[in-house]
Amino acid sequence: MSNDISNNLLKQISIAFNDKTPLRISAGNSKTFYGNHVNAQAINTLEHKGITEYQPSELVVTVRSGTLLSELESELKANKQMLAFEPPQHSEETTIGGIVACGLSGPRRAACGSVRDFVLGTTIINGRAEKCRFGGQVMKNVAGYDAARLMVGAQGTLGVLLDISLKILPVNESEISLKINTELSHAIKNLQQWTQQGLPVTASCFFKNTLYLRLGSTHSAVKQSLNTINNNFDTEEIDEAFWLSIKNQTHDFFTNANLWRCSHQMATRFYGDTDKQLLEWNGALRWINSEKDLYATADKHNGHAQRYPLTNSDETTDIFQPLQPGVLKIHKRLKQAFDPENILNPGRLYADL
């Protein structure tokens, strides 16, 4: 059945290539806010679904792009395993293809890595209507240009994702979540100190003079780390619901209409009103509520900014940090190589792509 679906997708792209007709790629439509609107004929991958190969002992799973994130996570959880980059689920229809295409990682990213770090291989249909396989199911098969990881964050502009092979990790033997009342400067200083000491911090968040921490490792390592933290702070244990609200961006803070997502090195000094910020990744990811244009400010601090209008998806354009001329030139050459007629999600990322 799925072969029929992939062949149908291939046929649709072949017709579009010959007719030079643009296509708007979609699946669960949970991330329509994340990019420019594409006014084009729709091509949908939602029915191309299912886990095709899963080897728990090898820590690898291969899945079709239309598979729901919730279904994949449920299967992994049954085997005490997880997607270590902890992707956000914006709706019940969020798919693994959309996760990889948008390249968004959750609270565990600073401890374990990003989406790109866990993609081993992909099968795509490029803009020439050619089915291409990149990478493999183990790291040693990834040689030459790592084209599989080019698909992460490309939002379908280089190809329609069909199948994805992902590295997975076991869940931690023990995990505990805490909250601590403290000032921002103290929170950042201690986070840096704890990570340098090797404490198993798997997630951190600071909001309104409260530091939220998650520790995850063996029972003994978590217990020892908790004792270390309790020597300096009064802590209160919280449940996993808080991290789900951060991971899936359902926390009240994400309802701000003027939301920005800014990424920097951990030690980068803060700018703007920190009372209107929610911090993750030990301070490297800053969610900022601001009516100002933050592109230039983020660039000045050697970071990058994105508008993140969860509540205003239909009218927003140009949400990503403008590319430097040299980088834009590289992007254009990649687009030309994969999609010479510019039929796949044209303008989704940038007007010139």
**Helix, strand and coil percent figures for the chain, each rounded to 5:** 35, 25, 40
Domains of the chain by residue range: 2-170, 174-307
In this prediction, residue 165 carries a pLDDT of 97
What's the CA gap between 250 and 240, in Å, rounded?
Answer: 14
What is the C-alpha separation between 1 and 310, in angstroms, rounded?
A: 35
- CA dist 237 and 246 (Å) reads 17
| Phi (first) and psi of residue 106, to 5 degrees | -105, -155
Q: Which residues contact 129 (CB under 8 A, 6 or more apart)?
A: 10, 13, 14, 16, 17
What confidence score (pLDDT) does residue 315 get? Answer: 57
CATH T-level topology, domain 174-307: Alpha-Beta Plaits (3.30.70)
277: DSSP letter: E
Task: Give the pLDDT of residue 146.
Answer: 83
CA dist 48 and 270 (Å) reads 44
78 burial (CB, 10 Å; 0-12 / 13-18 / 19+) is: exposed
Do residues 84 and 113 lie in contact, with contact meaning Cβ atoms separated by under 8 Å?
yes
Task: Tell me which long-range contacts 141-145 makes (C-beta under 8 A, separation of at least 24).
Answer: none
CA–centroid distance for 22 within its chain: 26
pLDDT at 311: 65
Beta bridge partners of 82: 169
Among 42, 45, 61, smallest CA distance to 6 is for 45
Inter-helix orientation angle 184-197/219-230, to 10°: 140
Q: Could you list the pLDDT tens digit for every one of the 353 residues in the chain?
A: 667 889 999 999 999 999 999 999 999 999 999 999 999 999 999 999 999 999 899 999 999 999 999 999 999 999 999 999 999 999 999 999 999 999 999 999 999 999 999 999 999 999 999 999 998 765 555 455 689 999 999 999 999 999 999 999 999 999 999 999 999 999 999 999 999 999 999 999 999 999 999 999 999 999 999 999 999 899 999 999 999 999 999 999 999 889 999 999 988 999 989 999 999 999 999 999 999 999 999 999 999 999 998 865 555 578 999 999 999 999 999 999 999 999 999 999 998 88
Measured CA to CA, the distance from residue 152 to residue 276 in angstroms comes to 30
Identify which of 205, 246, 247 has the alpha carbon closest to the alpha carbon of residue 70: 247
> Tokens in use for 209?
């003079």
CA–CA gap between residue 316 and residue 306 (Å, rounded): 12
Token pair, residue 339, equals: 């999609």
How many Cβ atoms are within 10 Å of 300's Cβ, its own excluded?
Answer: 9
pLDDT of amino acid 318: 85
Question: What kind of fold does domain 2-170 have according to CATH?
Answer: 3.30.465
